[in-house]
A and B are shown apart, each in its own frame.
Chain A
Amino acid sequence: MLKKNVLIVEDDAIIANFIQLKLEEMGYHVPSKARNAKQAIEMAEQFQPDLILMDVMLEGEMDGIQAVEEITKTLDIPVIYLTASSDENTIGRLMKTEPHGFLIKPFDDRILSSAVHIAVYRHKTKKELFDTKEMLRTTIESIDDMVFSIDNKGMFTHYHSGNKHQLNRFQSENVVGKSIVEVFPAEVAEKIQESFQWVKDFKEPHSVEFKIEEKDNIWWFRTKLTLRKDLNGNVPGITMVMSDITQNKNMHQELRVSQDKLNEAQNIAGLGSCDIFYRENKVVCNDMYFKLLDIDDKIRMNNFTEENLLEIIHPEDRSRYKMLKKRVMEEEMNEFSINFRVLDRKANVRYVHMAGQIRYDKNGEPERMTNTLQDVTWQKNSEKLRQDVELARKTAEMKQRFFARLSHEIRNPVNGITGLLQLLERTRLDEEQKSYTQALQVASDTLLNLLNDVLDYSKIESGMMKIKPCDFSVRKSLKNLQTYFTPIALEKNLEFRYKVPDDIPQNIVADESKILQVLNNLISNALKFTRRGFVEVRLSTQSRVNEELNLLVEVEDSGSGIKSEDQKELFKDFSQLENETSIKVKGSGLGLSICRQLVTLMGGEIGVRSDESKKGTTFWFTLPVLIAADQTHNDEKTTEGKETERKNLNCSVLLVEDMIVNQKVIKLILEAMGCNVAVASNGQQAVEMFRETAINAFNIFGRIHYDIILMDQMMPVLDGLTALQILKKEHEKLPPVIVLTADESFAQNNKYLESGFDDCIIKPVKTDDLYQKIKNLTGQIQTLTNEEKLEVFSLESVEEKPVINNTTLDLIIKNARQNNFDIGLLFESFFEDMEGIYQQSLTAIEMNDHNALRLIVMTVKGLSGNMGASQLHLVAKLMDRYIRNDQFEEATALLPLLTEKYSVFKSTLETQYLKAPAETER
Chain B
Amino acid sequence: MNYQTEQFLKKYDAVKLLDEETLNMLNEYASGSPEIVQDILDSFEPEAVKLMDEIRIARENEDAQLLKTAAHSLAGISGSIGATRLRQVASDTENAIKAENIKEALDLSEILIKTYDELIALLKKM
Instruction: Give residues in A with beta carbon < 8 Å to B.
Output: 658-662, 664-666, 668-669, 671-672, 714, 742, 763-765, 767
Contact = CB atoms under 8 A, between A and B. Distances in A.
Contacts of B76: 659, 662, 742, 763-764
Give the residue among B29, B37, B91, B94 with the most A Cβ atoms within 10 A: B29
Contact of A661 (B30, B40, B72, B94): B40
Nearest to A764: B79
A669 B30 CA distance: 9
A760 to B, nearest CB: 15
27 contacts: A659-B77, A660-B47, A661-B47, A661-B77, A662-B77, A664-B39, A664-B40, A665-B40, A666-B80, A668-B29, A668-B30, A668-B36, A669-B26, A669-B29, A672-B31, A714-B69, A714-B73, A742-B72, A742-B75, A742-B76, A763-B76, A763-B79, A764-B22, A764-B79, A764-B80, A764-B87, A767-B25
B101 interface: no
A765 B91 CA distance: 15
Nearest to B79: A764
A658 B51 CA distance: 13
Contacts, number: 60
Given A668-B36, A668-B40, A764-B87, A662 B29 contact: no
B12 interface: no
Give the residue among A661, A662, A669 with the most B Cβ atoms within 10 A: A661
Nearest to A762: B79
Nearest to A673: B29
Contacts of A668: 26, 29-30, 36-37, 40
Contacts of B77: 659, 661-662
Contacts of A664: 36, 39-40, 43
Contacts of B72: 714, 742
Contacts of A767: 25
B17 interface: no
A764 B77 CA distance: 9
Contacts of B44: 661
A728 B31 CA distance: 37
Give the residue among B36, B73, B91 with the most A Cβ atoms within 10 A: B73
B118 to A, nearest CB: 18
Contacts of B22: 764
B97 interface: no
B36 to A, nearest CB: 6
B81 interface: yes
Contacts of A665: 26, 40, 80-81
Chief secondary structure at chain A's binding surface: helix
Given A668-B40, A714-B69, A662 B80 contact: yes
A669 B31 CA distance: 11
Closest 5 CB pairs of A and B: A764-B79, A672-B29, A661-B77, A665-B80, A664-B40
Contacts of B80: 659, 661-662, 665-666, 763-765
Contacts of A660: 43, 47
A669 B77 CA distance: 15
Nearest to B28: A672
A81 B22 CA distance: 143
Contacts of B29: 668-669, 671-672
Interface in B26-78: 26, 28-31, 36-37, 39-40, 43-44, 47, 69, 72-73, 75-77
A764 B73 CA distance: 12
Nearest to B74: A659
Nearest to A658: B73
A269 to B, nearest CB: 58
B54 to A, nearest CB: 12
A765 B81 CA distance: 10
Contacts of A765: 80
Contacts of A659: 47, 73, 76-77, 80
Contacts of B40: 661, 664-665, 668
Given A665-B26, A742-B91, 8 more contacts: A659-B73, A662-B80, A664-B43, A665-B40, A668-B40, A714-B73, A763-B79, A764-B80
Contacts of B73: 658-659, 714
Contacts of B31: 672
Nearest to A714: B72
Contacts of A671: 29
Nearest to A670: B29
A669 B79 CA distance: 14
Contacts of B36: 664, 668
Nearest to A664: B40
A764 B82 CA distance: 9
